[in-house]
Chain A
Amino acid sequence: DVKVTQSSRYLVKRTGEKVFLECVQDMDHENMFWYRQDPGLGLRLIYFSYDVKMKEKGDIPEGYSVSREKKERFSLILESASTNQTSMYLCASSSSLNQPQHFGDGTRLSIL
């Protein structure tokens, strides 16, 4: 089974902090994704990566950056956290871009 592991289930940070969310997958998948999920807005793609050191913007990249230094690890960075970034963050991976994406357990991030 695919295992996607997110470093924290719950995280509380303060506005202005730099926040790192980490994601690791163990299936040697090429593609990794970061989403956020908010009530009434559904799942929205922030960034994705189809190879090491490669990244593409999703629908809502503003205020975020990503890093993929190794194939198995994809990090989401909130450069200066704001309260409107309070959300559930979900990492996913897939073997190719038309194959199913498998999700981690999610990180519920609160920015105070």
Chain B
Amino acid sequence: QKEVEQNSGPLSVPEGAIASLNCTYSDRGSQSFFWYRQYSGKSPELIMFIYSNGDKEDGRFTAQLNKASQYVSLLIRDSQPSDSATYLCAVIGTSYGKLTFGQGTILTVHP
């Protein structure tokens, strides 16, 4: 089992729809969870982080964490073509400071 797994995608949604990106992790002791966006040829850009169970909202983005199910998700409301990118889920587990990335989900928002 991979340490951090994301829905493989690619995911295609129409402009204005909600995009839902999912991630599961294997280390039950993980405490810190991050979502990065990466445009083609660019470096990862932090868009959300979450430490506690529940929802965290920032503008059009909502991160959801369920530690019991070892599941973290990212919702993008009112998706825009500029949201088209690869989204990386990353988790810091019990190996302190080691950030493990998922393989990424490619999101395409079409007009």
Contact = CB atoms under 8 A, between A and B. Distances in A.
A43 B103 CA distance: 8
B99 interface: yes
Interface in B48-104: 49, 88, 92, 96-99, 101-104
B31 interface: yes
Nearest to B92: A98
Nearest to B46: A100
Contacts of A48: 97
Contact of B43 (A42, A50, A90, A100): A90
Contact of A98 (B31, B42, B45, B103): B31
Interface residues of A, number: 19
B44 A42 contact: no
Interface string A21-43: 00000000001010000000011
Contacts of A31: 97
A100 B97 contact: no
Interface in A35-64: 42-43, 45, 48, 50, 58
6 contacts: A33-B99, A43-B101, A48-B97, A50-B97, A58-B98, A101-B99
